[in-house]
Structure 1
Amino acid sequence: MYPRRTLSRTRTAATLLAVAALLLAGCSAGSSTSTASSAGREAEAAALAPLPRSTPAALKPYYAQKPRWRDCGVPGFQCTTLKAPLDYADPSAGDVRLAVSRRQATGPGKRLGSLLVNPGGPGGSAVAYLQQYAGVGYPAEVRARYDIVAVDPRGVARSEPVECLDGPAMDAYTQTDLTPDDRREEGALVEAFRKFAEGCGADAPRLLRHVSTIEAARDMDIVRAALGDRKLNFVGASYGTFLGATYAGLYPDRAGRLVLDGALDPSLPARRLNLEQTEGFDTAFTAFAEDCARRSDCPLGAKGTPVETVGKNLRSFFDELDARPIPAGDADGRELTESLATTGVIAAMYDEGAWEQLREALTSAMKHRDGAGLLLLSDSYYEREADGSYSNLMFANAAVNCLDLPPAFASPEEVRKALPEFEKASPVFGEGLAWASLNCTYWPVEATGEAQRIEAKGAAPVVVVGTTRDPATPYRWARSLSGQLSSARLLTYDGDGHTAYGRGSRCIDAAINAYLLRGTPPADGKRCS
């Protein structure tokens, strides 16, 4: 089942790991000097106010922590645990324990301090990302000069994870029909959202009220102090850009070298975010369809088939699965349903390197009635293991998103009214993504956040990176965020896939490396391909 806000993907040397989230927009061109149309759309959004520079007395013990590093069983990495207040408004209410990991600077060259990394989600494990990719896959010159550090945000992975459903219940949830044909199926979808929310509320009733992005950003400042850094250096992808921008807004004087890759627009309410992300997935699918139609092995049409027809053929296949799922060779007896197939296709939109795998999976499903390939893609998106267990990715994703913003819709009736707009945004995915936007409606905790512009006045230069055909974080969001941040430099990758750093563009990598290593940001509006 699609989570509400943004999908992101982490990379390892051998595979792509789905990190999840969902729903948001399309692309446009230009530098941050021309973002008025995007930023101005939500002009009523207030600006995030910075916190006082002085540390409140009740928080000083947290800031005075000294990490006790230990071996964490992964060669080259150390781990520790730090504490943060459960409730910053009432530090006496108890603590949350944050899992932190690092790979120390390897040299040569003078150490530049710590570089925190976050892969997005929300719900993606930063510690896993560090140990599987960033700590070994970031450019050697960056790893030589920085301790690469990750902290799992509160409620995520190793940091007191939120849990909602067991494996079998999660299997049922992910197979729920997201394109209801009648009121009975609508009722089943609402019941699935209710059951999911109730499971989360029962697991962590107190923590669920304190997993917001603002609280996670405040936790990062405690980590910064514990590491002994005067300023925070940070590379965040997808949702990680929202986390990093929020930090800059709260602590502009402590923001060091910040790279926000695959930017979110914090000024937009949930419904607008979801609609624009729907457009973004349509943009990415159009790029895939154009590529597929140039090939003789495209399962969605003969060579030269118009893009619109490719999309209609995929939609027709989804409709067939809605009526009659197909076998998937699954040990637990799962079949490939419309919802799982749609998730599999969406998962492949994050990286053009997965397009071949998607073509093969679609060929097997459409021509041979073998859904195993699409089920594998869907399972990677949900982080479902071979033993039927799930990571807490989707649980944390909903917990953070539903606390950060009021729900996109108040009722199924509102979704029905919005369907034409979503289906116009994406004829292939619009209906399902509209209904997926209903998940926070039944959340057991009211949202504490709201859409806010982030200006971070007084912060050092912040590099905002946008990819023109990014499916999950549309390029317009990068333009909008760079227009909000007072010191932003917009760096554009003219290409496909989600995020840009470390994905094959020498131009992008060189610009970001120069900023991280020498403090030299790219010229505002610089474009790479």
Structure 2
Amino acid sequence: MKAFQALSRGFSLASVRRVPPAVAVAGALLVGCSSGGTSDNAAATGSAGAPSPSGATGGQGAASPPATAPNSGDNPALSGFYTQKPVWRPCSAQQSGSGQSGMQCAGLRVPLDYAAPTGKTIELAVYRMPARGPEAQRLGALAVNPGGPGSSVVGLVAYLGQSANLAARHDIVGFDPRGVGGSPRTECADGPLMDRVQSLDPTPADAAAVDEAAAVLKEFGQGCAARTGDLLPHLGTAVAAEDMDVFRAVLGEDKLDYFGVSYGTYLGAIYAEKYPDRVGRFVLDGLVDPGVGRFANAREQAEGFEKAFRAFAADCLTRAGCPFTGTPDNAARSLRARLDAISASPIRLGTRTLGEAMVGTVVSMYLYSPQSWPELRQLLASLYAGNPRPMLTAFDETADRAPDGTYEESILPAYYEIGCADGRMLSAEEAATLAREVSATAPTLGPATVWSWAADCPAPGPDRTQPLDGADVPGMLLVSTTRDPATPHAAAARLQTRLPASVVLTVDGDGHGAYTARNGCVIRAVDAFLLNGKLPARGTTCS
């Protein structure tokens, strides 16, 4: 995925298939960067054993590791990983994308399998924008993750690296999780199969259509197993949290300061639960609740997108060129009727076909930011006027489909397989049943949202249903927007209960991710916490 080539869109679009869950902010941040570092999945079969701390050569920006690894645990076999020395060098254009002046890149060596730390290792891509302020005022590293799962950290590192306040006192840093970006990548399918996966009808007519969808997903899953190799069983948020702790130690931090958006909040929460004594100042923006099971999670997100569409429709109805008339309810019924017609008779455009799932993807992605609403209004107006070509072009952009039909920059494979490892995905049969159920409360975009969680997992993990154990976690800043489509506001109250020392900052508004939406009230609160450790008063609301 990586689109979000356009920062000017306000971090609005994410390139993913049919509304993947917390993916949009990440994509929008990528600013057209292409993957760097090693992308060869054979990296998982590379060197064995922990790296030697003294084995790294010098180089620009090389940091001296601590004499002993901060909080490296009791396993001596991990010591070499915790004390390795990053060698920072200017990123190449391929690694960081055009225009990322000043960004530095390095590698982070981690075990392929933490249960066998003396076995195979992989190298993760890490990035840094050095602090710009005086040395005496610097606070250390601020690690970031923009979401996905599957999005590279490059865009968010670059964006926050230009922050007037945070970048003056923090090194802005991040690592691409295993399976993602410049780290060893997840690979699953060629272009034609990617097309088929992303055009699965979210309102299948009968059991045979569900079986057909299941067969496509099975073919995709088998491709993931064949192409990704021995990396596949070692993906997921739990192992990413272990990698993040190695990263913390390598940065020389006893406690980690962290800013996570969307899925990045899920990673941050899992890390905090596992390592509460290593949590510094954590900001989680666009909350994902790890304690919600996969069915409830998909249902809640479906209702979030429905609510967001009606907010868009209410705005659209006040503006010239809106294809809808009447009320937001009328608009929802109108779009549902249009989607049903496309489902029954997909639109042929030369050698391409525009189906219901593809239109649903575009509409959903453009709901991530009100700054994208004018463009969505124009796309829908063109569709209603009998010109579907702009909608197809918008799909290609959001899905990172190249003109030659390839998906080299798509995050879809990583999104699928990290979701599988986390036990978050649904079978085709489960998705079909839940999509019919949510049609009662989320008829417009609910089915497409549910189907975005459908997969055939070659390496499935268990569905986590137990609530987050955050009793010992220090106070964090939890940012939640009331009409967030992808990470609905309902998660805020639950996480506040599970993280009693933390404070929820409510944003009365629309869109996904408040800080990157340049909300001044949110920026002041987040900066005050990250720079001075001051949490806002409980009950604070920004608008």
User: Do both share a fold (TM > 0.5)?
Assistant: yes
CA contact (8 A) 2:294 2:463 kept: no
CA contact (8 A) 2:210 2:432 kept: no
1:302-321 correspondence runs (5 A):
305-321=326-342
Alignment partner, residue 363 of structure 2: 345
| Structure 2 residue identity aligned to 1:246 | I
CA contact (8 A) 1:118 1:237 kept: yes
Give 1:408 deviation, angstroms: 3.7
Alignment partner, residue 68 of structure 1: 87
* 2:393 equivalent among 376, 381, 391: 376
Q: 1:209 to 1:226 in 2, by over 3 A?
A: same
* 1:22 equivalent among 17, 20, 23: 20
| Structure 2 residue identity aligned to 1:169 | L
Alignment partner, residue 42 of structure 1: none
* 1:457 equivalent among 459, 471, 483: 471
| Structure 1 residue identity aligned to 2:369 | D
Alpha-carbon distance in 1 for matches of 2:509, 2:397? 23
TM-score for both structures, normalised by structure 2: 0.84
| Structure 2 residue identity aligned to 1:265 | D
Q: 1:435 to 1:68 in 2, by over 3 A?
A: closer
Alpha-carbon distance in 2 for matches of 1:259, 1:385? 35
Alpha-carbon distance in 2 for matches of 1:239, 1:149? 17
* 1:271 equivalent among 295, 299, 303: 295
Q: Which runs of 5+ in 2 are unaligned?
A: 23-70, 93-99
Alpha-carbon distance in 2 for matches of 1:383, 1:477? 30
Give yes or no for the alignment of 1:169 onto 2:167.
no
Alignment partner, residue 249 of structure 1: 273
Listed one character per residue, the Cα deviations across residues 268-307 of structure 1 (whole Å, up to 9, x for unaligned) are 1101100000010011011011111222321122xxx121
Query: Relative to structure 2, which stretch is displaced further, 425-434 or 242-251?
Result: 425-434
Alignment partner, residue 237 of structure 1: 261
Higher relative contact order by CA 8 Å / sep ≥ 6: 1 or 2? Answer: 1
| Structure 2 residue identity aligned to 1:90 | A
Give yes or no for the alignment of 1:57 onto 2:71.
no
| Structure 1 residue identity aligned to 2:525 | A
Alignment partner, residue 29 of structure 2: none
Alpha-carbon distance in 2 for matches of 1:101, 1:118? 11
Secondary structure, counterpart of 1:297 in structure 2: coil
Alignment partner, residue 38 of structure 1: none
* 2:372 equivalent among 341, 354, 367: 354
CA contact (8 A) 1:164 1:196 kept: yes
Give yes or no for the alignment of 1:122 onto 2:141.
no
* 2:7 equivalent among 2, 5, 13: 13
CA contact (8 A) 1:156 1:392 kept: no
Give 1:438 deviation, angstroms: 3.2
Listed one character per residue, the Cα deviations across residues 82-140 of structure 1 (whole Å, up to 9, x for unaligned) are 11111112213311210001010001461110011111000011124323x3323xx31
Secondary structure, counterpart of 1:18 in structure 2: coil
Alignment partner, residue 31 of structure 1: none
Give yes or no for the alignment of 1:95 onto 2:121.
yes
Q: 1:313 to 1:98 in 2, by over 3 A?
A: same
Alpha-carbon distance in 1 for matches of 2:375, 2:182? 31
| Structure 1 residue identity aligned to 2:73 | S
Alpha-carbon distance in 2 for matches of 1:11, 1:483? 37
Listed one character per residue, the Cα deviations across residues 394-439 of structure 1 (whole Å, up to 9, x for unaligned) are 1101111111126445x62x44543443112301122333344432
Percent of aligned pairs with the same residue?
39
1:274-289 correspondence runs (5 A):
274-289=298-313
Give yes or no for the alignment of 1:447 onto 2:461.
yes
CA contact (8 A) 2:130 2:170 kept: yes
Give 1:12 deviation, angstroms: 5.0
CA contact (8 A) 1:262 1:466 kept: yes
1:31-430 correspondence runs (5 A):
54-73=73-92, 74-108=100-134, 110-131=137-158, 133-136=159-162, 139-301=163-325, 305-326=326-347, 333-367=351-385, 369-390=386-407, 391-405=409-423, 407-409=425-427, 412=429, 414-430=430-446
CA contact (8 A) 1:123 1:394 kept: yes
Alpha-carbon distance in 2 for matches of 1:380, 1:421? 31
CA contact (8 A) 1:81 1:97 kept: yes
Query: Relative to structure 2, which stretch is displaced further, 343-352 or 448-457?
Result: 448-457
Give 1:183 deviation, angstroms: 2.9
RMSD: 2.2
Alpha-carbon distance in 2 for matches of 1:54, 1:436? 38
Alpha-carbon distance in 1 for matches of 2:251, 2:219? 41
Give 1:388 deviation, angstroms: 3.0
| Structure 1 residue identity aligned to 2:284 | L
Alpha-carbon distance in 1 for matches of 2:431, 2:147? 27
Give 1:229 deviation, angstroms: 1.4
Secondary structure, counterpart of 2:8 in structure 1: coil
Give 1:379 deviation, angstroms: 2.6
Give 1:191 deviation, angstroms: 1.3
Alpha-carbon distance in 2 for matches of 1:371, 1:387? 20
Secondary structure, counterpart of 2:309 in structure 1: helix
Alpha-carbon distance in 2 for matches of 1:505, 1:453? 30
Q: 1:341 to 1:420 in 2, by over 3 A?
A: closer
User: How many aligned positions are there?
Assistant: 482
Query: Relative to structure 2, which stretch is displaced further, 204-213 or 489-498?
Result: 204-213
Give 1:378 deviation, angstroms: 2.3
Alignment partner, residue 509 of structure 1: 523
CA contact (8 A) 1:365 1:371 kept: yes
Listed one character per residue, the Cα deviations across residues 62-82 of structure 1 (whole Å, up to 9, x for unaligned) are 001000111112420110011
Alpha-carbon distance in 1 for matches of 2:283, 2:247? 18
Alpha-carbon distance in 2 for matches of 1:288, 1:407? 28
Give 1:447 deviation, angstroms: 1.0
CA contact (8 A) 1:179 1:435 kept: no
Q: 1:328 to 1:519 in 2, by over 3 A?
A: farther
CA contact (8 A) 1:404 1:447 kept: yes
| Structure 1 residue identity aligned to 2:83 | A
Q: 1:219 to 1:517 in 2, by over 3 A?
A: same
CA contact (8 A) 1:280 1:471 kept: yes
CA contact (8 A) 1:23 1:278 kept: no
TM-score for both structures, normalised by structure 1: 0.86
